[in-house]
Amino acid sequence: MDKLMDNPWFIKILALLLAFLLYTAVPQGANKLTDVSLSGDQNTETIQGMPVKTYYDTNNLVVSGIPDTVDVTVSGSKGLVQSAKTLKNFEVYVDLTGAKVGTQTVKYQIKNLSSQLKATLEPAFANVSIEEKVTKEFKVDAELNNDLIEEGYVAGEPIVEPNLVKITGAKDVIDRISYVKATPDIKNSIHETTTQDARIRVMDRELNKLEVIVEPETVRVTIPVKSSSKTVPIDIVEKGTPPPGLAIDSIDLDVKDATIIGDEDILKAVANVRVEVDTSKITGDTVLTLPVIIPKDIIKVTPQLVKATIKVKKETTQGLSGLLIKQQGLGNQYKAAFKDPASGSVDMVVDGPSDILKRLKTNDFNLFVDLSNLTEGDHDVKIQVSGPSNVNWKLNKTVATVTISQTGV
């Protein structure tokens, strides 16, 4: 018996007999029963978010207008529908192989879906734009929020490495590029040189982000930071003239010095800052809050405001008469005589604090006329005065008439 079982022909004949017995054992209506069961077990399901693949010349073209996903409705036997929905083992695609540049409407296609299933897509068509792919090189500019630099420090020009990137996209998109920016994501204030990676942003003139491919996507941005401050005195500058009867006795600031921030070369040229006091509006002792005025190239000053304590003195008036007018600048070949005033002297009214006026003398003032470059004849010349800085004066005559003649005539 064992030898018979080892014979291959015996095995084949036995298998044929078993198959025949199974066939005759199946009832004749079985096939009909199966058909009824299949025809009554139909189902329809919608598969949402089915990915769409696009086939085209990726080396030379850029395609837009095709959504990432579509919804697919499949109908057929329940088992096949459920399998397709679960496995998603079919593909939705758009075939643009050999397509030319321009716009066109194309139909979505499906492959690897069971032939026993019916499928519909929503949407069924896509409006496609096919454009020439272009790659250009652009310079990257770094952006920096200067508010992140600590007080007393300044940032130099950022260094971008690499400072040139390749940007690939549709030709009309590449032509719209106006800005290629790299902005370091700095969250805290800095006071020293900082290096950080920054993602590149590509924008048009209206600062809209453009869909392009950037290589590399990030660059290294180094921000040089250094201390750039200087302490300088605050000078007081008086503007205008105090009202009649008053004189400025003193002006004191609550802060004498200020710290300025700016470029190193600019700081070297700045010796002081100032506050300006309009004395024409002072009516008595007062305290004013005044802005500290800086040169235009200085970035910042601390403090920005100071308090000025102003004290005044009441003024009185005193007359001085017979102040002689000197002659200056006359050539040796000429001599001069005053025609008006014939006495060669004038009177003066002086306004100022009473304690100062009490000590004034006529020789505290120097009156003169400048006769340089004048020749023979009568000339009207201005009477010039130098005197104490803490008083005001007024002459009864401001112009003198002088007769010039040659010596020996």
Question: Where are the chain's structural domains?
Answer: 42-132, 140-227, 229-314, 316-406
**Closest alpha carbon to 346 in 383, 317, 378:** 383
> Given this model, what pLDDT does residue 28 score?
46
Q: What is the mean pLDDT of each run of 10 residues along the chain (409 residues)?
A: 56 61 48 39 91 90 89 93 91 89 91 92 89 92 85 84 94 93 88 91 94 93 87 94 84 95 86 95 94 90 95 87 94 93 94 84 94 94 93 93 86
| CATH homologous superfamily of 229-314 | YbbR-like domain (2.170.120.40)
Overall pTM > 0.75: no
| Structural class in CATH, domain 316-406 | mainly beta
> Given this model, what pLDDT does residue 204 score?
94
Runs of H (alpha helix) within 88-182: 171-175
Report the C-alpha gap between 189 and 147 in whole angstroms: 8
> Given this model, what pLDDT does residue 322 score?
93
> Given this model, what pLDDT does residue 252 score?
96
Residues 6+ apart with CB under 8 A from 76: 42, 43, 114, 116, 117, 118
Burial of 380 (0-12, 13-18, 19+ CB in 10 A): exposed
Decide if domain 42-132 falls under CATH 2.170.120.30: yes
Burial of 59 (0-12, 13-18, 19+ CB in 10 A): exposed
> Given this model, what pLDDT does residue 316 score?
84
> Given this model, what pLDDT does residue 3 score?
53
Residues 6+ apart with CB under 8 A from 89: 83, 112
Burial of 188 (0-12, 13-18, 19+ CB in 10 A): exposed
> Given this model, what pLDDT does residue 147 score?
81
Partners of 122 in the β-ladder? 71
Are 394 and 348 in contact, with CB atoms under 8 Å apart?
Answer: yes
Please indicate whether the domains covering 140-227 and 316-406 agree at the CATH topology level. yes
> Given this model, what pLDDT does residue 288 score?
96
> Given this model, what pLDDT does residue 315 score?
78
> Given this model, what pLDDT does residue 32 score?
36
**Closest alpha carbon to 84 in 122, 42, 112, 124:** 112
Report the C-alpha gap between 216 and 168 in whole angstroms: 11
**Closest alpha carbon to 238 in 282, 201, 294, 180:** 282
CATH topology classification for 140-227: RNA Polymerase Alpha Subunit; Chain A, domain 2 (2.170.120)
Are 312 and 285 in contact, with CB atoms under 8 Å apart?
Answer: yes
Report whether the peptide linkage leading into residue 123 is cis, meaning its omega lies within 30 degrees of zero.
yes
Report the C-alpha gap between 179 and 170 in whole angstroms: 17
Q: Give ∠ CA 259-253-150 in degrees, rounded to 5.
A: 20
